[in-house]
Amino acid sequence: MGNQFYRESMFTVQNLTCESLVNPLGLAVMNPRFSWHIESDIPGTVQQGYCIELMDEDGLVWNSGEIVSAQSVLADYTGQPLAYATRYTWRVKVCVNDIWSNWSKPAWFETTLEKWEAPFICADDRPEDSYAVVFRREIHAEKPLKSARLYASALGLYEIFIGDKQITDTCFNPGWSAYDFRVLFQTFDVTDMLTSGIHTLTAHVAAGWFKGDLGFEKCRNLYGSTMAFSAHLHLVYTDGSCQTILTGDDWQFCASPIIYSEIYHGETYDARLESPDTWQSARILEPGSRSVEPFDGLPVRRQEVLPPIALFTTPGGDRVLDFGRNITGRVRFSVNGQAADRVKLRHAEVLDHSGNFYTENLRSAKCTDTYILKGGATEVYEPYFTFHGFRYVAVDEYPGEIHPGNFEAVVIHSDMERTGTFACSHPLINQLHSNIVWGWKGNALDIPTDCPQRDERLGWTGDIQIFASTACFLYNTLPFLVKWLHDLRLEQRPDGGVPHVIPDVLKKLNNDSHSACGWGDAAVIVPWTLYECFGDIRVLEDQYDSMCAWISRIHSQASGNIWNTGNHFADWVALDAKEGDYIGATPPDLCATAYYAYSTGLVAKTAEILGRSGDAEQYRKLHADIVTAYQREFFTPSGRLAAQTQTAHILSLVFALTPQAFIPRTIDTLVKLIEQNSGHMVTGFLGTPYFCHALSRNNKLNEAYALLLREDYPSWLYQVTMSATTVWEHLDGIKPDGSMWSANMNSFNHYAYGAVGDWLHKVVAGISPLEAGYKRILIAPQPGGSLTWAQAALKTPYGMVASRWEYTDGSFSLKVTIPANTSAEIVLPDKRRFTVGSGEYTYQ
């Protein structure tokens, strides 16, 4: 393949990842795939070939040979089976213009254990208890160590210490999985913590999602009544010998200083109990039928630290710290005092109309942390096994004077890489986008939740289905959502029904409701969105049976291809709902049939991509039949849509369900429906995300911008004018007069309506994929409204793409960056089109 002489070139290979992860430890798959970016000064750079080398400590394991291919994303390992629990190093070189690059800097990955053999150990636990337990064992590192790996799991949540040091900066280990089917274990490198000699390994274990209060029915012990811990410590000495230590009845336990810990309610820590003198022998607990599997998501970490911006006293007398924005996390503080003195903190998202601390929307969640001092030197505390959604913290107890400098808010979420940014000339739109980002961060704590503050915090399928495309622009969500999809597949009913929440705690609460349109469709839409954004065909392969089962389930429930059975949330919390009702005015059977058609069309595309041509033809025919049935059922012969709601028209247009001849009437009616509501939207969860797309795709760009830029209620910017720093569950969570929508269901951190971010990225800034993973890119900004400039940048699987347009003295200009090994279609507002390769371009 051209010149075999290696020389300094104008391109290099950078940003190596394995399974979209940087140097993963404990990789959950044994057939890894490799990705890289090409950094090049050569316009139109296209990779002609690549070569990968894989090494272990003994030398070369695999050389791919010089592969003639442009693939630089998720290239398969094709060598002999890899060894378990082994560190591998790899590097890659590429060929461009018949010239081979130098080898990249090496990256590495480490495979996981072959099987889990460590027993789960437990204490004398009681079902009603919410205290944590400590397990311990002395570890004798007999000789100089070469490496030490600790593999750990729990029925509950754990934090592990060697001596007095935590072994990891991750938290909420090992995450929340579909516990009825699987519990996850994680891998930690503890080599540097185990020098030769005797060490004490201790693990604090709390109820977490496994045993603690969960769901809005105030239930606990949904997965089991006993917390347990399991660990496998593997030591490799420099002389080549090995030692394995497993949990067992030779471990001991005692009560933890964490005397109370619940996800919803908070944590109480008694520092006087940090040095217990009474230990008992642990006992072995059978984990049941659930499997123990390697962690396949992203760990949760502390991401940012925010200082308070104010300390004030409310009219009701509460001393309150304001951290400036609504976040998910907890408060770390320092304190001096005597033994038995207490610090007590309560958390809230907002103040009420009188400026008082408002917690009614938390429902039964207490959201209270208490620390009991041991006395003496300065003490520093941050809770271990709880988190809160908050901006404000009431300091109910604190010895001495409250100094804001002694407090800081710790922002916590899954460790997703930030990939996408957006900004424009309109400050309120910038704040809206910031709210969208913070709303997602606040609800991406191991699973995609609906809210982080009240007694819910569940993995609602509808919310992430709506928001997935926006999330995938903002962050590398691929590993995060793949883990969640694995659990969706496990929790799916035998008839293909999809639970409303994943993991399915509602089933544990004897709530047999499932399979709502737009919610269950997450089984199809989320995998498809991940494929579009990241180019990972394995997601489609892994989820294909689940996707097909969902369509089969709907088909069995539909009558003449109209899905008119079952219970649906439909256009949830739409403003055109009847008084006292959460479901909007758009008929549920219209919503359901629209989603039935949309998901079936996506499964047809998926089957085609996977080479299942027979399936693809079957689903294409079914899709056509559903569309015909929809048009016959919901459109009159003259083209009037039977349901005169905004959402009915939006779904009909965006899901391509409108007869071609009736598209003008449908879009004109949608505009009239906006006018009838004084220029406002009255849509809910199903209509709102697509509203601006429905308009801009049908030559109503001005109307889309007018909707986006409205500042009065109801609108996206209304929340911004009301000082929101995250997206609200309700467009009128706080009403113009300062009163609250309702205490029953009123989250101020609910990302669903933030799905308008997808329109900001794709239409305002103009970046979207033309081919999966952004192998081909569309740059088609559509300026409008009062905006004078807008820009976005996205780190795609191939590298950075950027778009910035602006008007200067009435003249339009566009600057574009296209990453190497991709191409792009550039469409200017005046409809001029250009096809380009990688490089930087300016258009006037």
Q: Which residues are catalytic?
A: 456, 729
Do 482 and 531 touch, CB atoms closer than 8 A? no
Angle (nearest 5°) at CA 567 between 565 and 573: 130
For the record, the structure tokens of 838 come out as 């990688």
Biggest alpha carbon distance in the chain? 86
Interatomic CA distance for residues 79 and 62, integer angstroms: 6
Report cis status (omega within 30 of 0) of the bond before 499. Answer: no
Q: Give, to the nearest 10 degrees, the angle between helix 461-474 and helix 427-442.
A: 120
**At residue 519, what is the residue type?**
W
Q: Which residue has the tokens 């010998």?
A: 241
Cα torsion 246, 251, 255, 260 to 10°: value is 10
Helix, strand counts (H, E) of the chain: 15, 47
- Structure tokens, 833: 């089109």
- Whether 606 and 496 have beta carbons less than 8 Å apart is answered as no
All residues at 6 or more sequence positions from 512 whose CB lies less than 8 Å from its CB, including other chains: none
Backbone angles phi, psi at 504, to 5 degrees: -90, 80
Segment (H or E) for 655: none
Per-position DSSP letters for 731-792, written without gaps between them: TTSB-TTS-BS-SSS--S--GGGGGGHHHIIIIIS-EEESSGGGSEEEE-----TT-SEEEE
- Minimal CA–CA distance to 61: which of 35, 36, 79? 79
CA gyration radius, the chain: 28
Rounded Cα distance between 832 and 827, Å, is 6
Alpha carbon distance 87, 58 (integer Å):
11
3-state secondary structure of 186: strand
317 Cβ contact partners less than 8 Å away, ≥ 6 residues apart: none
Pairing verdict, β 75-76 and 33-40: antiparallel
Gap between the Cα atoms of 424 and 273, Å rounded: 54
Q: Residue type for 363, please?
A: R
Give, as one character, the DSSP assignment of residue 570: -
Q: Can you tell me which residue has the tokens 């009702």?
A: 581
- Beta-carbon neighbour count of residue 378 at 10 Å? 9
Q: Which of 630, 600, 626, 628 is nearest to 615 (CA)?
A: 600
DSSP strand pairing (310-313 vs 252-255): unpaired
* Rounded distance between C-alpha atoms, residue 83 and residue 89, angstroms: 13
Instruction: Locate 586 and state its tokens.
Output: 């758009």
User: How far is the C-alpha of 613 from the C-alpha of 608, rounded, in Å?
Assistant: 6
E strand or H helix at 463: helix 461-474
What lies within 8 Å, CB to CB, of 565 at 6+ separation is: 557, 558, 559
Nearest of 774, 781, 792, 766 to residue 421 by alpha carbon: 792
Residues 311, 398 contacting (CB under 8 angstroms): no
- Helix (H) or strand (E) segment spanning residue 702: helix 701-709
C-alpha span between 471 and 754 (Å, rounded) = 10
